[in-house]
Structure 1
Amino acid sequence: MNKGLLFGIALLGATHCIFAQEQLGIRLDHYNGINAALLNPAGHAATPFSWDVNLLEGAFFVSNNYTYTTPMKLSDWLKDPDQLDIAFGPDITPEKPLPPGARKVDFYTPDRSLYAKAQVSVMGPSFYVRLAQNHTIGLLTRFRVAGNADDVDPNLAYYPYFNRNFFQDFRVSKFNAGAMAWSEIGLNYAYRLPVSNGSLSIGFTAKYLQGYEAAYFNNKTDFQLSKLPGDTLSGGPIHFEFGYTNSNFTGDEYALKRNGSGLGFDLGVMYVSGEEDGNFTWRWGVALLDVGRVNFTANARQHVAQTDAVSIVGADAFEPFNRRDEFEEAIIQVFSEKVLQDSNASLQSNEFAMRLPTAISLQAERALLPNVYLGAALIQGLPTRNAAVQRGSLLAITPRYSHRWFGASLPVSLYQWQRLRLGLALRLGFITIGSEHLGSLFTRSEFYGSDFYFAIKVNPFKIGEREAQLSRRKAAPRRRGGGGSNVKCYEF
Structure 2
Amino acid sequence: MNKSILTAFIILIAATVQGQSYIGFGTDNYNGVHGVISNPANIVDSRFKTDINLIGVSGLIGNDYYSAKFGDILKDDFDFDDDGTKSPKNANNAYGNVDILGPSFMFNINSRNSLAIFTRGRVFFNVNDINGDTYDNISNEFDENEDFNVNEGDYQMSANAWAETGITYATVLVNQEQHFLKGGISLKYLMGYGNAYSSGKNIVIDYDADGSGTTGSIDSQGEIAYGNSDNITNDFEDYEFVKSADGFGVDLGFIYEWRPNFADYTVTDKDGNPYAPKDINKYKLKFGLSLTDLGSLKYKGTENAYDITNSISEDDFDNEEGFEDKLNNLYTQIRSGNASKAVLPTALHLNADWNINNHFYMNLNTDLSITSKSNSNTNSIANIVSLTPRFESKWFSFYSPVSYVQNLGVQWGAGLRAGPLYVGSGSILTVLTSDQSKGADVYAGLKIPIYQSRPKDKDDDGVLDKVDGCPEVPGPIENNGCPWPDTDGDQVLDKDDNCPEEAGIIENKGCPWEDTDNDGVLDKDDNCPEEAGVVENQGCPWPDTDADGVLDKDDNCPEVPGTVANNGCPELTEEVQKTLNEYAKTILFNSGKATIKIESTNVLVDIMKILNEYPNATFTVEGHTDSIGSVPSNQKLSEERALSVKNFLVEKGIDSARLTAIGYGESKPIATNMYKAGRAENRRVEINLVKN
TM-score relative to the length of structure 2 = 0.56
Q: Does 1:177 align with 2:157?
A: yes
Instruction: Give the corresponding residue for 1:241.
Output: 225
Q: Does 1:210 align with 2:198?
A: no
Change (3 A) 1:491 1:471: farther
Provide the C-alpha distance between the structure 2 equivalents of 1:491 and 1:338, rounded to a whole number of angstroms. Answer: 90
Is the 1:66–1:157 contact (alpha carbons within 8 Å) kept by the matching residues of 2? no
Provide the C-alpha distance between the structure 2 equivalents of 1:192 and 1:474, rounded to a whole number of angstroms. Answer: 27
Q: Deviations over 1:391-423 (max 9, x none)?
A: 111111011111001100110011115420100
What is the aligned length? 430
Aligned residue type for 2:188: K
Is the 1:293–1:354 contact (alpha carbons within 8 Å) kept by the matching residues of 2? yes
Is the 2:16–2:61 contact (alpha carbons within 8 Å) kept by the matching residues of 1? yes
Is the 1:18–1:148 contact (alpha carbons within 8 Å) kept by the matching residues of 2? no
Q: Does 1:187 align with 2:162?
A: no
Instruction: Give the corresponding residue for 2:564.
Output: none
Is the 1:17–1:147 contact (alpha carbons within 8 Å) kept by the matching residues of 2? no
Instruction: Give the corresponding residue for 2:347.
Output: 359
Greater displacement, 283-292 / 330-339: 330-339
2:86 to 99, 102, 107: 107
Q: Does 1:201 align with 2:182?
A: yes
- How far did 1:252 drift? 10
Instruction: Give the corresponding residue for 2:610.
Output: none
Provide the C-alpha distance between the structure 1 equivalents of 2:113 and 2:460, rounded to a whole number of angstroms. Answer: 20
Q: Does 1:35 align with 2:25?
A: no
Correspondence 1:445-460 to 2 at 5 A? 445-460=435-450
Instruction: Give the corresponding residue for 1:334.
Output: 326
Correspondence 1:315-334 to 2 at 5 A? 316-318=315-317, 330-334=322-326
Aligned residue type for 2:346: T
Correspondence 1:32-431 to 2 at 5 A? 32-68=31-67, 70-73=68-71, 77=74, 84-89=76-81, 104-110=83-89, 113-153=91-131, 155-159=133-137, 171-196=151-176, 197-219=178-200, 221-229=201-209, 233-236=218-221, 238-249=222-233, 255-274=240-259, 277-297=280-300, 300-306=301-307, 310-312=309-311, 316-318=315-317, 330-340=322-332, 345=333, 348-382=336-370, 383-384=372-373, 385-431=375-421
Aligned residue type for 2:367: I
- How far did 1:175 drift? 2.4
**SS of residue matched to 2:331:** helix
Instruction: Give the corresponding residue for 1:80.
Output: none
Instruction: Give the corresponding residue for 1:483.
Output: none
Please report the RMSD computed on the Cα atoms of aligned residues, expressed in angstroms: 3.7
Is the 2:228–2:339 contact (alpha carbons within 8 Å) kept by the matching residues of 1? no
Change (3 A) 1:314 1:455: farther
Change (3 A) 1:200 1:390: same
- How far did 1:72 drift? 2.9
Instruction: Give the corresponding residue for 1:101.
Output: none
Is the 1:208–1:263 contact (alpha carbons within 8 Å) kept by the matching residues of 2? yes
Provide the C-alpha distance between the structure 2 equivalents of 1:474 and 1:355, rounded to a whole number of angstroms. Answer: 57
Provide the C-alpha distance between the structure 2 equivalents of 1:470 and 1:357, rounded to a whole number of angstroms. Answer: 49
- How far did 1:441 drift? 5.4
Provide the C-alpha distance between the structure 2 equivalents of 1:394 and 1:474, rounded to a whole number of angstroms. Answer: 48
- How far did 1:29 drift? 0.5
Provide the C-alpha distance between the structure 1 equivalents of 2:237 and 2:228, rounded to a whole number of angstroms. Answer: 19
Change (3 A) 1:154 1:459: same
1:435 to 422, 425, 431: 425
Aligned residue type for 2:91: S
- How far did 1:443 drift? 4.8
Provide the C-alpha distance between the structure 1 equivalents of 2:39 and 2:199, rounded to a whole number of angstroms. Answer: 30
Provide the C-alpha distance between the structure 2 equivalents of 1:304 and 1:401, rounded to a whole number of angstroms. Answer: 54
Change (3 A) 1:280 1:468: farther
TM-score relative to the length of structure 1 = 0.77
Change (3 A) 1:312 1:400: farther
**SS of residue matched to 2:324:** helix
Instruction: Give the corresponding residue for 2:528.
Output: none
- How far did 1:207 drift? 0.8
- How far did 1:356 drift? 0.8
**SS of residue matched to 1:158:** helix
Is the 1:148–1:177 contact (alpha carbons within 8 Å) kept by the matching residues of 2? yes
Is the 1:118–1:146 contact (alpha carbons within 8 Å) kept by the matching residues of 2? yes
Aligned residue type for 1:337: N
**SS of residue matched to 1:27:** helix
Greater displacement, 362-371 / 156-165: 156-165
**SS of residue matched to 1:278:** coil
Change (3 A) 1:330 1:318: farther
Provide the C-alpha distance between the structure 2 equivalents of 1:26 and 1:301, rounded to a whole number of angstroms. Answer: 40
Provide the C-alpha distance between the structure 1 equivalents of 2:101 and 2:327, rounded to a whole number of angstroms. Answer: 40
Greater displacement, 409-418 / 52-61: 409-418
Is the 1:27–1:37 contact (alpha carbons within 8 Å) kept by the matching residues of 2? no
Greater displacement, 400-409 / 264-273: 264-273
- How far did 1:117 drift? 2.4
Is the 1:185–1:208 contact (alpha carbons within 8 Å) kept by the matching residues of 2? yes
Instruction: Give the corresponding residue for 2:541.
Output: none
Change (3 A) 1:17 1:368: closer
Provide the C-alpha distance between the structure 1 equivalents of 2:166 and 2:384, rounded to a whole number of angstroms. Answer: 24
Provide the C-alpha distance between the structure 1 equivalents of 2:47 and 2:256, rounded to a whole number of angstroms. Answer: 15
Aligned residue type for 1:174: D
- How far did 1:469 drift? 10
Change (3 A) 1:473 1:120: farther
Change (3 A) 1:252 1:392: closer
Provide the C-alpha distance between the structure 1 equivalents of 2:139 and 2:237, rounded to a whole number of angstroms. Answer: 36
- How far did 1:191 drift? 1.2
Identical residues among aligned pairs (%): 21
- How far did 1:316 drift? 4.9
- How far did 1:58 drift? 0.5
Change (3 A) 1:246 1:272: same
Is the 2:19–2:380 contact (alpha carbons within 8 Å) kept by the matching residues of 1? no
Change (3 A) 1:210 1:218: same
Greater displacement, 227-236 / 46-55: 227-236
Instruction: Give the corresponding residue for 2:651.
Output: none
Aligned residue type for 2:105: F
- How far did 1:31 drift? 0.7
- How far did 1:105 drift? 4.5
Is the 1:284–1:365 contact (alpha carbons within 8 Å) kept by the matching residues of 2? yes
Aligned residue type for 1:140: F
- How far did 1:241 drift? 2.5
Aligned residue type for 2:327: F
Name stretches of at least 5 consecutive residues in structure 1 with no aligned partner: 78-82, 93-103, 322-328, 477-488
Aligned residue type for 1:107: K
